[in-house]
Amino acid sequence: MVLFTDRVDAGRQLARQLLYLREQDVVVLGIPRGGVPVAFEVAAALGAPLDVIVVRKLGVPFQPEFAMGAIGEGGEELVDESVVALTGVTDAEVSAVEARERVTLDERVERLRPGRSRLPLDGRTVVIVDDGVATGATARVACDVARRFGAETVILAVPVIAAETLAEMTGADDIVYLSAPEEFWAVGQFYTDFSATTDDEVARLLDEAARRVAGQDTVTATDPDNDADVEVEIPVDTVTLHGHLHLPASPTGVVLFAHGSGSSRHSPRNQFVADLMFQAGLGTLLFDLLTPAEELDRSNVFNIELLGRRLAAVTRWLTDRADASECRVGYFGASTGAAAALWAAGEPGVQIAAVVSRGGRPDLAGARLPQVTAPTLLIVGGADATVLELNREAQRLLSGETRLAVVPGATHLFEEPGALGAVAELAADWFTRHLLPPDIEAPA
Regarding predicted confidence, which is higher, 114 or 340? 340
Residue 286 in this model has a pLDDT that exceeds 90: yes
pLDDT at 117: 77
For the segment 412-423, the average pLDDT, to the nearest whole number, is 86
Alpha-carbon gap, residue 60 to 77, rounded angstroms: 15
What does the alpha-carbon distance between residue 57 and residue 32 come to, in Å, rounded to a whole number?
Answer: 11
Q: In the predicted model, is pLDDT for residue 386 greater than 90?
A: yes
Residue 10: pLDDT over 70: yes
Sheet containing 228-236: give its strands across.
Answer: 228-236, 239-247, 283-287, 253-258, 328-334, 354-358, 376-381, 402-407
**Which DSSP category does 42 fall into?**
H
Determine the Cα–Cα distance for residues 76 and 22; give it in Å rounded to an integer.
30
Give buried/exposed letters for 99-121 (b at 16+ CB in 10 A, else e): eebeeebeebeeebbeeeebbeb
CB within 8 A of 363, min separation 6: which ones?
Answer: 339, 390, 393, 394
DSSP for residue 127: E
pLDDT over threshold 80, residue 443:
no
Strand partners, 233: 242
Assess contact for 375 and 355: CB atoms under 8 A: yes
Q: What DSSP assignment string belongs to 152-183?
A: SEEEEEEEEB-HHHHHH--S-SEEEEEE--SS
**What's the Cα-to-Cα distance from 398 to each of 358, 368, 375, rounded to whole Å?**
16, 9, 9
- One-character DSSP codes across 370-435: GG--S-EEEEEETT-HHHHHHHHHHHHH--S-EEEEEETT--TT--STTHHHHHHHHHHHHHHHHH
> Hey, what's the torsion of the CAs at 358, 403, 316, 364, to 10 degrees?
-60
Examine the pLDDT at 340 and tell me if it is beyond 90: yes
* Other beta carbons less than 10 A from residue 369's beta carbon: 23
Q: Band the pLDDT of 438: cuts 50, 70, 90.
A: low
User: Do the Cβ atoms of 175 and 10 come closer than 8 Å?
Assistant: no
Report the percentage of the chain scoring pLDDT > 70: 94
Query: Contact at 8 Å (CB) between 53 and 74?
Result: no
Q: What is the DSSP string of 55-121?
A: EEEEEETTEEEEEEEEEEGGG-EEE-HHHHHHHT--HHHHHHHHHHHHHHHHHHHHHHSTT-PPPP-
Q: Does the pLDDT of residue 266 top 80, yes or no?
A: no
51 pLDDT above the threshold of 90: yes
Q: Give residue 226's pLDDT.
A: 53
Higher pLDDT, 175 or 239: 175
Q: Strand, coil or helix: what is 208?
A: helix
Q: How far apart are CA 153 and CA 26, in angstroms?
A: 9
**pLDDT digit string (tens) for 220-255?**
344 444 567 888 889 998 888 988 899 988 788 999
Q: Is 380 exposed, middle or buried (0-12, 13-18, 19+ CB in 10 A)?
A: buried
Angle formed by the axes of helices 419-435 and 268-279, to 10°?
A: 40
- At residue 407, does pLDDT exceed 50? yes
CA distances from 317 to 199, 275, 303, 304, 427 (A): 46, 22, 21, 20, 24
Domains of the chain: 7-213 (3.40.50.2020), 228-435 (3.40.50.1820)
Structural element, H or E, at residue 308: helix 304-319
